[in-house]
Chains A and B, each alone.
Chain A
Amino acid sequence: MMNPLKELFGGAMTPGVLGVFGHLDDTARAVKDLKADGREDFTVFSPVPRHELEDAIDRPNSSVRMYTLIGGIAGCSIGAWITLYMSWDWPTQVGGKPIGSIPPYVVIMFEMTVLFGALNTLVGVALNALRAARREGTIPYDPRFSNDKFGVFVPCGPDKAGATEAWLKQHGAEEVRRA
């Protein structure tokens, strides 16, 4: 039976070479040299986020921040809308205060800002992860990458696999594996 998730995220393997590194500085140097060669299609695996790798990979800031901002603004607006609309929909004077009294409603607006901002941040992370997953599902993985090893996967055709293996070993890879 067809598995739609498998079809979507687990397509045919991308041909290339996976290098397993034991040292952070070797990994960062390999990434820098790949970038210097004009390559952007590689994937780096790491058990922890390290700024040495981030600097070497040199990708733009994540778009997640826009999700947070939009969620926060939407939450604040919804908070203002529900409090003011509901107050005026059935006007009842409470505690001698105006019907649409802003100061007490600031609390609701604030909480809604945080709630929607946080939820939309998660949506942003999830959507970005899903977008990346389509490609990442087709490249090899090593369970040691979540423990103490770093990895670099370089896509290449079978004709260049030998040269790529040698290049990765030269940069300190402890193991190389063809996909």
Chain B
Amino acid sequence: MAQTTASGTSGVRVTYDYVTRVIHKTLGDPTKGYFALLGVAVGLLTIGIICLLFLLRYGLGLAGYSHPVYWAVFITCFVFWVGIAHSGTLISAILFLFRSAWRTAVYRVAEAMTVFAVMTAGLFPLIHIGRQWYFYWLVPYPNERGLWPNFKSPLIWDEFAIGTYFTVSTCFLIMGLIPDIAAVRDLATGWRKKLYALTSLGWRGTNEQWRHYSRGYLYLAALATPLVLSVHSVVSWDFAMAQVPAWHETIFAPYFVAGAIYSGVAMVISLLVPIRKLFHLEEVVTIRHFENLAKLCLLTGMIVGFAYATEYFIAWYGGPTPEHKAFYYRAFGPFWWAGWTMNVCNWFLPWILWFKKVRTNLTALFVISIFVNVGMWFERFTLIAIHLAGEPFEPFVKAGYNPTWADWGIMAGSFGWFFMWFLLFVKNFPAVSISEVKEVLPPPVRSGKGAH
């Protein structure tokens, strides 16, 4: 027998059976550490819910809005979480179409992250509208005067884009899970066997099932690829279509898409480093996977840095315009700390990823990924709240904007909400794709030739 296994980093023979069992093992009984993490997530969520209840009772005034800053932490969080969602579909759909084999070990985490991040992002426009019980006014139906929504508004485009993205990425996640749930179904016992028997939808891996499934998956990937590029472009137009200096920029769509993928890949690294350690997935998720993620981070980080430089250059080149003032305000105004946090974390820090030693050091990668996420949150905060505070149309207004406990509490709650769903997912469903990891392994063959 030849070519039936691949060797892992520690010389373990990685076979089809090894992959199924090691991933099935991640679904065992939760440890105390898992419950502690889940407890932290639920605790943060509780804080968020309490703050939200206060906000519902006493109104948006609690959130620190101050004229002209009416888009602030909530919209920042919305854009941040939509951005986080982006790398999931990039890794699962775009790299799938490119036949990039390394994605197989990391895409499930990225895809689950996508779905939960969109679920988190979707909460913020609802919180932001103030009167949440009228959320259905966003749905395209006529009001009592027969007036339809304004389809020329980027906010309506956004609703369609985010709704479509959530639906398609959820379909993609569920579809990818079906063969893997069937694999763990056949090893599971007790209530888990019943759960997986139900959710695997009768999957048996027959030739007819694979024939239609593979095609369906390919077309979903083909549809999701332009979608992922469009969604953050549409989010960027929420700003770029407005007449606010530092918002009204033609580079916003690619700038936002690169930034979204950048933050999303950083979040995948932040999630995958502890999961790999906790679930003993060292042979399946290797250093090479992290290095490739770091390269992706480096590429998108360079694009983001170039976009920042372009923004500053255009503002300087344009002469003493409102744009010029806005960028001066960003760098040297009262909120300089937010602008420079963004610059340091997103623009300068990723340069150290040029070194292979850094890219292959998981501790360094984990720390950098956290900094990138902090930086990307501040990028959105700077762009949204700070540029509104510094807008030059009303020079007599001195905005004294400061986020309040309600802003921070609801933001913390969003992290709790996201991590709660994520932790529940990785303990109950395969966090690494079983069938796709097997696909890139040499198959068991008798002759030792022909398979590749």
Contacts and interface: CB of A to CB of B under 8 A. Distances in A.
B184 to A, nearest CB: 9
Contacts of B208: 43, 59, 128-129, 132, 136
A98 B55 CA distance: 40
Contact of B450 (A25, A53, A129): A25
B230 A45 contact: no
B157 A59 contact: no
Given A25-B450, A114-B168, A141-B204, A64 B152 contact: no
A62 B210 CA distance: 10
B451 A43 contact: no
Contact of A136 (B142, B204, B445, B451): B204
B205 A64 contact: no
B8 interface: no
B59 interface: no
B227 interface: yes
For the side of the interface on B, what is the size category?
A: 35 or more
A136 B1 CA distance: 32
B30 to A, nearest CB: 24
Most buried by B among A47, A52, A62, A172: A47
Contact of A121 (B216, B226, B444): B216
Contacts of B438: 47-48
Interface string B123-158: 000000000000000001010001111111100110
B172 to A, nearest CB: 8
Nearest to A172: B446
Contact of B212 (A50, A108, A124, A145): A124
A163 interface: no
A136 B205 CA distance: 11
A63 B208 CA distance: 12
A104 interface: yes
B41 interface: no
Most buried by B among A43, A112, A122: A122
Nearest to A69: B219
Contacts of B65: none
Given A65-B215, A68-B223, A95-B152, A49 B17 contact: no
B292 interface: no
Given A26-B446, A46-B207, A110 B439 contact: no
Contact of B157 (A62, A107, A119): A107
A74 interface: no
Interface in B66-96: none
B152 A97 contact: yes
B425 interface: no
A175 B296 CA distance: 46
Interface string B177-218: 001001101110000000000000111111111111111100
A54 B151 CA distance: 46
B450 A46 contact: no
Interface stretch (B31-39, B159-167, B278-286, B374-382): B159-167
A145 B446 contact: no
Most buried by B among A46, A101, A114: A114
A13 interface: no
A59 B207 contact: yes
Contact of A118 (B15, B211, B220, B443): B220
B212 A125 contact: yes
Given A118-B223, A146-B179, A47 B435 contact: yes
Interface of B: 1, 15-17, 20, 140, 142, 146-153, 156-157, 160-161, 163-164, 167-168, 171, 175, 179, 182-183, 185-187, 201-216, 219-220, 223-224, 226-227, 230, 234, 435-436, 438-439, 443-447, 450-451
19 contacts: A23-B444, A23-B445, A47-B183, A47-B435, A47-B438, A48-B436, A49-B439, A52-B443, A61-B215, A90-B146, A104-B152, A107-B230, A112-B160, A114-B164, A118-B224, A129-B202, A144-B186, A145-B205, A148-B16
Given A47-B20, A50-B439, A72-B223, 15 more contacts: A43-B208, A53-B207, A87-B148, A87-B151, A90-B148, A97-B152, A107-B230, A107-B234, A108-B156, A114-B227, A115-B167, A118-B168, A118-B220, A125-B216, A137-B202
